Amino acid sequence: AGRAPARGPIADLARHDAENGTGYLGTLRAWLETQGDLAQAAERLGVHPNTIRYRLRKMAEVTTLQLDVPAKRLAMIIELAVAEPPV
């Protein structure tokens, strides 16, 4: 198992998920792994694309994701891979 990041958006979302049972990290991982394709991310999670949009908006209220910045997206992909490698 990987290690959980101590700070930053991934850590903020992990804490929020633990406290609220939201599952935002899974949504973020799916969105990042599908390169921002809402339909593919939704299919992967078994939800409607609007659910992905809603969750991304809610995540932005919890932490600053900066999903429009490629370097930030890459950093989040790396953090997620280190924190919990896919099986």
Question: Cα separation of 10 and 40, whole Å?
Answer: 21
Which helix (DSSP H) or strand (DSSP E) does residue 54 occupy? helix 49-62
Question: Cα separation of 21 and 79, whole Å?
Answer: 20
Question: Cα separation of 66 and 63, whole Å?
Answer: 9
Instruction: Output the pLDDT for position 8.
Output: 87
- Please tell me the CATH superfamily of domain 9-83, with its number: PucR C-terminal helix-turn-helix domain (1.10.10.2840)
Instruction: Output the pLDDT for position 7.
Output: 78
Please choose, from the candidates 5, 43, 40, 39, the residue with its C-alpha nearest in 3D space to the C-alpha of residue 25. 5
Whole-structure pTM value = 0.85
Each of the 87 residues of the chain gets a pLDDT tens digit; together they read 455 556 789 999 999 999 999 999 999 999 999 999 999 999 999 999 999 999 999 999 999 999 999 999 999 999 998 876 555
Instruction: Output the pLDDT for position 83.
Output: 75
What are the extents of the domains in the chain? 9-83
